[in-house]
Structures are given as C-alpha cells and as structure tokens.
Amino acid sequence: MSDPRALAVNVAANTNEPGFRGPVYPDGSFAYVPIPESAATLPRERFPVDESMPTYGDLDLPFAVPASLRETPVHADPEFPGVHGRERATYGDPYGVKAGRIAALGPGDRLLFYATLTPRPYGWAGPGEERPGDAGADDRDGAWLRERGIAVNDDLAPDWGAYLFAGMRVERVLSGGDEEGDGGGVVDRAVAAERAPTNAHLKRDPFDARVVAVGDPEASGLFDRVVPLSSPDAGSEANPIVTDLSSDSGKGPWWRRPMAFDAAATSRLLARIDRP
C-alpha cells in the first residue's frame, strides 16, 4: 500500500451562511457549526434511516444561536461519530471542482476539513438573540482579546482565519455512480444509502452528491485544537502549510479552495495535527 495522501476542503458556517463564523478560542479549541440546509429535502419517511432533520436548535453548541435560526434545518456534513448527535463519518459533495479530487482518494488517505473562524473569548454568548449582529450579540472578538491583554495562541490570526479542525481516514469513496468513478456524475443513490445512510445529501430532493466519502469511525472526528492555515498576521495571508506543503499557491481567495497534499507533505501535516 502506498503512503497516504490528503485533501483539505472548506466547510462549515461562514458570514454568508448562516451569517456568522464559528468561534475559535484563545487556546485553539473551537466549535464546529454546520451551514444551513439550502436545498429541498425529502419527507422524513423517505430518508434512508428513521431520523429527524436536524436544526440549529438541536446542535450541541457552547453558545446560543439566534432565535430566528433555531428551527432552521442544518446541512450536517461532514458528520462524525459523537458530534452533534451523529454516529458515522461521512462527507458528500455536489461540486465538480471538489468531487473530482475527493474521488481520487483511496483507502487510508485523509480527507481533512477546514473552516474560517473568528477569535472569541471563553464563554462567548453567541451572535445575537434574533439575528447575527443584533443588539443582543456578543461582539467580543480578537480585538477585544488584544485590548485586554488576554493570552492567545501565537499562531491564531488576529480577526478571522482559516483553520483545519477535523478529518477522516478514508475507508471508501463513492463517486460517479459507482465506487470507482471520477466524480463526473451523481453517485448511485442506492449505493450511497447502503454505505452512508445518514449523509445529509441523502435527505435532499433530488439526491445530488457527485461523491460520498466514508471514513473509519475510529480514526475520524474533530481535532482537539485547530491547525492554522492562515498567517498569525492576517487571515487572508496563507501560512507555509498552504504555500509549502499543499498544491495551492496561497494567492487570491485560497481559503475557499481544495488543497491537495502528496505523501511526503501529508506525513508532515499529520505530525503537525498530532502535536499537543
């Protein structure tokens, strides 16, 4: 078996959906906040498994979400065992630019996930009572932390930044209608329902995933601490993990693009992820 490779893709809450980024705390711990479900969905009785459609109010978060979001369904993707009530490690994607790269991963390779996060103090209350940014919002951020001299990890970006926060060790990848495709078509729904029955894309009408990755549940999940991809000087400035280890140039909006790592770079990256 060849040495594992890795691919990192952008996921999770952002300033467009649902209107705020998840928090990263001074020690590098964080909260994973999924995006809202933006597609039409099937009635519950047509889901592959008997479970409800999760909402923001169902999530296990350390802060309050706006009241206007609590009943909003979430797109719980990626999912990890023990995180927000999920039991499996899966990820589906309908977009060709990412699906083709994910489809190239094999058993033992790593599918990593990064998000843009905002520095927040411990005990951050949340983005507001009614909507993000309203009068009830807890606006404490990186500037608030710096003004008060609160100790923050040196490698965290000052305002917002891109951070690796989770990953899965791939068991299999379903793509293009079978398990050996190239990500060019939609995965066969029956195959996906058998292999990854709780993946969020199987709740959509129509099913739209061009690729579905299934991870080893014992080797997949959230990290204890984020791994920064941004420079400590500015969130929009890529650090050496991006510019030296990944396939990405670090120019332009690199924090929205998939980043591939060859076997040697993956070994160095995994050592960084595993570092206390």
Q: What mean pLDDT, rounded, does the chain reach?
A: 94
Give me the percent of the chain exceeding a pLDDT of 70. Answer: 95
- The 10s digit of each residue's pLDDT in 25-79 is 999 999 999 999 999 999 999 999 999 999 999 999 999 998 889 999 999 999 9
Biggest alpha carbon distance in the chain? 56
Task: Write down the pLDDT at residue 177.
Answer: 47
Query: C-alpha dihedral over 242, 164, 259, 257, to 10 degrees?
Result: -100
Task: Write down the pLDDT at residue 131.
Answer: 61
Task: Write down the pLDDT at residue 3.
Answer: 84
- The 10s digit of each residue's pLDDT in 119-169 is 999 999 999 876 666 667 899 999 999 999 999 999 999 999 999 999 999
Q: How far is CA 266 from CA 31, 45, 97, 253, in A?
A: 25, 42, 21, 22
> What are the structural domain ranges in the chain?
6-274
pLDDT band at 176 (very low <50, low <70, confident <90, very high): confident
CA angle centred on 275, ends 274 and 276, rounded to 5°? 110
Task: Say yes or no to pLDDT of 181 above 50.
Answer: no
Helix (H, G, I), strand (E, B) or coil at 272: helix
Spatial separation of the C-alpha atoms in residues 161 and 122, rounded to whole Å: 18
